[in-house]
Structure 1
Amino acid sequence: MAASDVAVGIIFLSQTVVGALGNSSLLLHYLVLYFTGYRVRHTDLILQHMFVANLLTLLCRGVPQTVAAFGVKDFLSDFGCKLLFYLHRVGRGVSIGSTCLLSVFQAIKISPADSSCSGLKVKSPKYIGFSIYLSWILYLLVNIMIISHMTGKRRNNNITSMKDYGYCSSVHPDKTSQSLYAVLLTFPDALCVGLMLWASSSMVLILHRHKQRMQHVHKTRSLRSSPESRATKTILLLVSTFVFFYTLSCIFQVCVIVIYNPHWLLVKMGAIVAGSFPALSPFLLMSRDSSASRLSLSGIRNRKIPNVRRNV
């Protein structure tokens, strides 16, 4: 086994273990709160689904990549390859959708009372559950096409039209199918990224205007101490990190698709970059406070509401 393979395997293993621990710990935290009847914020439902999607993304790509990097060959059947790639794509898509929904909801929440979004402030919490489940359904349907392209490596070693991913392979589709497949996969992601950029720009503008107004107001709580401001800055950090890694991931994916026989290092680097945001996002949320994120954990009310579940 080459030293480079061992190094790549250690990176995949570290990324998967650390990311899975971070996402599962926060997900477990929310489940405990749910079953003990604490009242938390509306955005917590979005975060719960984000953590589930992140776990799918990390485990369905990180585990087989780690096993393959440490020298285990042809350990997945055709069905296993199709299932893992499909779940990975669904998890990745829902992670994008959750981040988008989180940023849009926060932009609406902190918008001024006289803005065009004022009417959505009351209505938006009612549609959070519908929106997140619609995201799951959308990506479950869109990514069905990947099932026909992915296959195991056991019976396809002599086929020249295969693209090697280390532990699985994909069949080169014809140009028409490839174009349709690329559009179907890219359009929802591009739409989510566009909405995130719009929401982030709106939040930055709102915070800037609010800061200017507060400079002329004395004996008023500063912007830094505002819970809404802290939550907004946390989401801005999350979105900016996502856009950075998503852009890098897209560059690697385009290179892998365009190049007929891409180098194994290019494929591995693309997989590492794709798993970076799911692995880092829970720690970005927790980094806003020494104990836990203000957004995700300090939204809990100090009082316990008996026999009352969260209203989303």
Structure 2
Amino acid sequence: MRVSRRKKLFQKPGSMDLCITVKGVSFLLQTGLGILGNASVLMAYAHIAFIESHMQPVDRILAQLAFSNLLMLLTRGVPLTMFIFGLHNLVDDPGCKVLIYGFRVSRALSICLTSMLSVFQALTIASSGGPHLTKLKSHLSQLVVPTFIGLWLLNMIICIAAPLFSIAPRNGTVPPFTLNLGFCHVNFHENLSYVVNGVAVLSRDFAFVAIMLVSSGYILILLHKHSRQVRSIRRVQQGTSMETRAAKTVVMLVVLYAVFFGIDNLIWIYMLTVDQVPGVVTDIRVFFTSCYATFSPFLMISTNKKIKERMVCAVGEQTAKDSTENTK
């Protein structure tokens, strides 16, 4: 007891306030930028879908990825930021279940859709590998929606455990085998359910990450072969160059995800080895978990010509409208 009292006596009051402020500003910037970026991508694709009769499979997957990332930031980044700035008791038990379930499903979809994106892009640029591959490539557009439905159902089933254990904080105490999210607690009650849930999530994540890494490796091999073939050719067909740009975007998204996934799951593995997880550890993991949702839309905007053109047109139309109103 004497040691703990000395720690309290020599603790600087301002240091804790500074830490909270830095953490709050970090999550505020991350969440705000992520919501802005993903909303911009969704609006650009909404405009593209309105003016085009048919969207490419990769564009439809990117739009769905932006939606899942936006949902993830809304269900975790927003309430956590509000909690950090002192808005406690935000939700009750049912509210916690909705937020946790929404975050778990959207996070899982982000992994699965990035994996789906890499597989579809690999199939799109794959050279002819027989009648079966040719037939599969011709049906890619028809496979997009069924794959979306399958991934939604799969992750809604896998993620059903977390909301069952989600509760609002009780008197500031954190029981053992509990994930402390600040605004909500996920109390698994015992070590077995805690570890089983963690292993199930890790197994699904690693399976889809392995798929996306293999697909991206195949894309890189195809791009390398393609660059060697066209090195002596001055003009390349427009369709081929568009596919190449799209493939490079997919590879960059996979690399971006792999980096944040590695950090996220190293922390998650540590969390599975302790009975009571400190709040700061959970905050760090949540920050890195949300980094992909924040940065991926800006990577899409900078590398996707369609999205960039839609956003430039929207800005130009708004500028023209403002100048017309000013002249009246």
Tell me if both proteins adopt one fold, taking TM over 0.5 as the criterion. Answer: yes
Select 1:231's aligned residue among 216, 241, 246: 246
Paired residue secondary structure (1:170): strand
Select the structure with the greater relative contact order (CA < 8 A; seq sep ≥ 6). 1
Instruction: Write the mapping of 1:279-298 to structure 2, written as runs, cut at 5 A.
Output: 279-288=294-303, 293-294=304-305, 296=307
> Comparing 234-243 with 31-40, which one deviates more in the overlay?
31-40
Instruction: Write the mapping of 1:104-119 to structure 2, written as runs, cut at 5 A.
Output: 104-114=119-129, 117-119=133-135
Paired residue secondary structure (1:275): helix
Map of 2:64 onto structure 1: 49
Shift in Å, 1:197? 0.8
Q: Cα gap change, 1:223/1:81 in structure 2, threshold over 3 Å: closer, same or farther?
A: same
Paired residue secondary structure (2:305): coil
Query: d(CA) in 1 for partners of 2:96 and 2:219?
Result: 41
Map of 1:177 onto structure 2: 193
Map of 1:304 onto structure 2: none
Map of 1:124 onto structure 2: 140
Map of 1:153 onto structure 2: 169
Query: Is 1:200 aligned to 2:211, yes or no?
Result: no
> Comparing 74-83 with 180-189, which one deviates more in the overlay?
180-189
> Comparing 155-164 with 181-190, which one deviates more in the overlay?
155-164
Query: d(CA) in 1 for partners of 2:252 and 2:306?
Result: 12
Map of 2:104 onto structure 1: 89
Instruction: Write the mapping of 1:243-254 to structure 2, written as runs, cut at 5 A.
Output: 243-254=258-269
What are structure 1's unaligned runs of at least 5 residues?
A: 300-312
Count of residues paired in the alignment: 294
Shift in Å, 1:94? 0.9
Q: Is 1:224–1:230's contact at 8 Å kept on the other side of the alignment?
A: no
Select 1:7's aligned residue among 22, 27, 31: 22
Instruction: Write the mapping of 1:13-52 to structure 2, written as runs, cut at 5 A.
Output: 13-52=28-67
Task: Name the Cα RMSD after superposition.
Answer: 2.4
Map of 2:81 onto structure 1: 66
Paired residue secondary structure (1:75): coil
Q: Cα gap change, 1:159/1:199 in structure 2, threshold over 3 Å: closer, same or farther?
A: closer
Query: d(CA) in 2 for partners of 1:158 and 1:121?
Result: 52
Shift in Å, 1:226? 1.2
Q: Which has the higher helix share?
A: 2
Map of 1:100 onto structure 2: 115
Query: d(CA) in 1 for partners of 2:284 and 2:64?
Result: 26
Q: Is 1:285–1:295's contact at 8 Å kept on the other side of the alignment?
A: no
Q: Cα gap change, 1:295/1:233 in structure 2, threshold over 3 Å: closer, same or farther?
A: farther
Query: Is 1:165 aligned to 2:181, yes or no?
Result: yes
Shift in Å, 1:218? 3.6
Query: Is 1:278 aligned to 2:299, yes or no?
Result: no
Q: Is 2:178–2:189's contact at 8 Å kept on the other side of the alignment?
A: no
Q: Cα gap change, 1:174/1:263 in structure 2, threshold over 3 Å: closer, same or farther?
A: closer
Structure of higher CA gyration radius: 2
Query: d(CA) in 1 for partners of 2:82 and 2:166?
Result: 18
> Comparing 73-82 with 219-228, which one deviates more in the overlay?
219-228
Query: Is 1:136 aligned to 2:148, yes or no?
Result: no
Map of 1:306 onto structure 2: none
Query: d(CA) in 2 for partners of 1:212 and 1:33?
Result: 34
> Comparing 70-79 with 202-211, which one deviates more in the overlay?
70-79
Paired residue secondary structure (1:226): helix
TM-score computed with the length of structure 1 as normaliser: 0.86
Shift in Å, 1:158? 7.5
> Comparing 110-119 with 81-90, which one deviates more in the overlay?
110-119
Query: d(CA) in 1 for partners of 2:172 and 2:229?
Result: 66
TM-score computed with the length of structure 2 as normaliser: 0.82
Query: d(CA) in 1 for partners of 2:64 and 2:264?
Result: 22
Equivalent residue letter for 1:199: S
Equivalent residue letter for 2:293: P
How high is the sequence identity, in percent, across the aligned residues? 27
Q: Is 2:195–2:272's contact at 8 Å kept on the other side of the alignment?
A: no
Q: Is 1:112–1:118's contact at 8 Å kept on the other side of the alignment?
A: no
Equivalent residue letter for 1:101: M
Shift in Å, 1:171? 1.5
Shift in Å, 1:78? 1.0
Q: Is 2:178–2:185's contact at 8 Å kept on the other side of the alignment?
A: yes
Query: d(CA) in 1 for partners of 2:81 and 2:172?
Result: 22
Equivalent residue letter for 2:24: G
Deviations 1:256-299 (A, max 9, x none): 232333333222111110100011111001122xxxx1365669
Query: Is 1:75 aligned to 2:86, yes or no?
Result: no
